[in-house]
Structure 1
Amino acid sequence: MTNANTSVDDETTWGIELTPEHPLDRMADLAALAEDEGFDVAFASSHYFNRDPFVALSQMADATDSIRLGPGIVNPYETHPVKLASQTATVDEISDGRGVFGVGAGDRSTLANLGVEHERPLRRVLETFDVARDLWAGETVTHEGTFTARDASLNLDEREIPVYVGAQGPHMLRMSAKHADGVLINAAHPDDLEWAAGQLEKGLDDRSSDRGEFEALAFASVSVAADEDAAREAARPPVAFIVGGAAEPVLERHDIDRDAASAVGEAVERGDLQEAFGQVTPAMIDAFCIAGTTETVAERFDAALEHVDGLVVGSPLGPNLEDAIERASDAIERVDRSPSS
């Protein structure tokens, strides 16, 4: 791992998000393709309506040899934090030490659909990976905080698993820089990433020297295809969900009309997804997704890397997943790797 805001070079981390909306044998094949195409880490996203990410990761581990693997991103509300530590340690074990832990606060509206309270998210996330680290170190843990664990331990060998915090707001970004091994910034646009880098610097100022190096990755929605229009059309669903949950300062940063964003969010909340997708504007796609041909995407990757150490190619990837993985890899190869001045 590297320090935040390093120049683009061969140490740049390239990740990919694979969503378990597909049968698990296809998830395994996609992970193997990503490994062949040179990606460093594959995250299996976690949504209750899709297949279980940890089961998917077990299949992905069997199909690969070197790519790092982990949930991206699980939240410590739907599942008890001690259970998440056990599941992640199991992935690390079956992959011969390739596990990573992507953890975040989760989506408030999705959790509300399950009747789950989204209380004290920053503290909950921090306590979750603090306890996980103790458990992975072989300790027996008693914890009273945002959750309770009494005399908890894991029946696995000791492990060291890097923790990446999914973050977007200022407090979660600063906390991740102070305490975690890395951050997954929920953003695709250079303006958002530049702002996030400033928040991370504040956290790094308070980081203990014994924490080791820290890595900032943009967890960016990406859609790449041979045809620009097809790539942008495929971007509508994830952009709709991003816009629906975007904070006012983010909308203002991109000059997105508040009423237009509200219309998208309201359609998402009432389950009228086609209406929501149709309300997505070109400006929204430009702000919240890296979408276009291989050449366009390469230029956007290069711009993003002015502010982060690497990038996770996130959902939807593109209208054709296998083609998109290959095109994203091609875009990566086109990124200017010369040191910045």
Structure 2
Amino acid sequence: MSDAGGDVTRAIELTPEHPPARMAELAARAEDRGFDIAFSSSHYFNRDPFATLSRMADATDEIRLGPGVSNPYETHPVKLAAQTATIDEVSDGRAVFGVGAGDRSTLSNLGVERDSPLRRVLETFKLAEDLWDGETVTHEGTFTATDASLNFEPPSASIPVYVGAQGPHMLRMSAKHADGVLINAAHPRDLEWAAEQIERGLDDRSPDRGSFESLAFASVSVAGEEEAAREAARPPVAFIAGGAAEPVLERHDIDREAAEDVSDALERGDLNEAFGHVTPEMIDAFCIAGTTETVAERFDAALEHVDGIVVGSPLGPNLEDAIDRASEALARATAD
């Protein structure tokens, strides 16, 4: 994994809960502050990530861009391949493809059954790679496509595929078949466990597949004041804690009843109550939160186990300030 040196990948998640024009400005700021990749998160209740990415492409020159992460349940995999290829075209070859199984509870709001998630994600990006290579594809598996093809070619020789993963099987699959993984975790304890699963997948990786990159897709909240950063972390931490598997709660010694209080409130749609049930221990386990100095120390610890970090939602109470502080924290964490 990373030696915390100059080769560390610096990425950021920009959530399109704001108008595309502002998202474009934030992407330009992230590029100016040295970030390598900007992911636009993909949830049905926010603005469309691909429309947002198009605006982000117009506002930037070098930063790579992609959904982080799209899922092949809300959108057919062939359509996802075409959308990602379009971003590659409008950005002059800077696209990446972030793909995962999606959030089960969110998909259930749409009446979507998240069946066979590992197979569906694998089949999705394998099909996308064939389409980007100009092939006509017929597929019968977790989804169907008959004589599907794109009538344009993305400028990239290959678009990197990053799989959003948390469980052991998805982590191993990504290491075996994809270009990178986005580990849904922020704590070194979880990242160390994930790295062990990834190593098992890499043992089965074909040499022809090329290099592999492991990124921590970490919830981050950074501000000038510790308490302000931790308060801003409550919403994402509530959703993480409310859906956390039993082994994850045990790994961090988080009270099961406290996590159930968060989960129950979320299911009722009482977000304020859910956020209020978030404990300091949950914030410590599921978010990198604090001042620039605190966050730099946490980044340094995380980089013992991964090749880079995606600075994920919420970023902080002030987005522009948080981008600047996160950049500074990464610079401190990766200083020789």
TM-score (norm 2): 0.99
Q: In the alignment, which of 215, 218, 239 is matched to residue 216 of structure 2?
A: 218
* Per-residue deviation, 1:6: 3.2
| Code of the aligned partner of 2:286 | F
> Residues 155-174 of structure 1 correspond to what in structure 2 (within 5 A)?
155-158=151-154, 159=156, 160-174=158-172
1:57 corresponds to which residue? 53
Q: Note the alpha carbon deviations across 1:74-114, whole angstroms, 9 max, x for none.
A: 10000000000000000000000000000000011111110
Does the CA-based 8 Å contact 2:42-2:49 persist in structure 1? Answer: yes
Provide the rounded CA distance (Å) in 1 between the counterparts of 2:253 and 2:110. Answer: 33
Provide the rounded CA distance (Å) in 2 between the counterparts of 1:204 and 1:52. Answer: 34
Does the CA-based 8 Å contact 2:8-2:334 persist in structure 1? Answer: no
| Code of the aligned partner of 1:277 | F
| Code of the aligned partner of 1:278 | G
* Per-residue deviation, 1:327: 0.5
2:307 corresponds to which residue? 309
2:207 corresponds to which residue? 209
> Residues 1-341 of structure 1 correspond to what in structure 2 (within 5 A)?
5-158=1-154, 159=156, 160-338=158-336
Provide the rounded CA distance (Å) in 2 between the counterparts of 1:247 and 1:117. Answer: 19
Secondary structure of 1:149's match? Answer: strand
| Code of the aligned partner of 2:333 | V
* Per-residue deviation, 1:337: 3.4
Provide the rounded CA distance (Å) in 1 between the counterparts of 2:227 and 2:4. Answer: 29
| Code of the aligned partner of 2:200 | K
* Per-residue deviation, 1:178: 0.1
Q: Note the alpha carbon deviations across 1:275-305, whole angstroms, 9 max, x for none.
A: 0000000000000000000000000000000
Q: Note the alpha carbon deviations across 1:224-263, whole angstroms, 9 max, x for none.
A: 0000000000000000000011000000000000010011
* Per-residue deviation, 1:316: 0.1
TM-score (norm 1): 0.97
| Code of the aligned partner of 1:131 | L
Provide the rounded CA distance (Å) in 2 between the counterparts of 1:6 and 1:277. Answer: 34
Segments ≥4 residues shifted beyond 4 Å: none
Provide the rounded CA distance (Å) in 1 between the counterparts of 2:267 and 2:293. Answer: 35
| Code of the aligned partner of 1:52 | D
Secondary structure of 2:310's match? Answer: strand
Structure 1: 5+ residue stretches without partners: none
Provide the rounded CA distance (Å) in 2 between the counterparts of 1:305 and 1:93. Answer: 32
Identity of aligned residues (%): 79
| Code of the aligned partner of 1:334 | R
Q: Note the alpha carbon deviations across 1:23-75, whole angstroms, 9 max, x for none.
A: 11000000000000000000000000000000000000000000000000010
Q: Note the alpha carbon deviations across 1:308-336, whole angstroms, 9 max, x for none.
A: 00000000000000000000011111114
Q: Note the alpha carbon deviations across 1:9-31, whole angstroms, 9 max, x for none.
A: 11110000000000110000000
CA gap 1:336/1:23 in 2 versus in 1, 3 angstroms: closer
Deviates more, 1:183-192 or 1:325-334: 325-334
Number of equivalent positions: 334
Provide the rounded CA distance (Å) in 2 between the counterparts of 1:204 and 1:243. Answer: 29
* Per-residue deviation, 1:269: 1.2
Provide the rounded CA distance (Å) in 2 between the counterparts of 1:91 and 1:224. Answer: 30
Secondary structure of 1:150's match? Answer: strand
Q: Note the alpha carbon deviations across 1:161-204, whole angstroms, 9 max, x for none.
A: 00000000000000000000000000000000000000000000
Does the CA-based 8 Å contact 2:175-2:201 persist in structure 1? Answer: yes
Does the CA-based 8 Å contact 2:120-2:142 persist in structure 1? Answer: yes
Does the CA-based 8 Å contact 2:2-2:308 persist in structure 1? Answer: no
Provide the rounded CA distance (Å) in 1 between the counterparts of 2:108 and 2:142. Answer: 18
| Code of the aligned partner of 1:130 | K
Q: What's the C-alpha RMSD, in Å, of the aligned pairs?
A: 0.6
Does the CA-based 8 Å contact 2:6-2:334 persist in structure 1? Answer: no
* Per-residue deviation, 1:120: 0.2
* Per-residue deviation, 1:266: 1.0
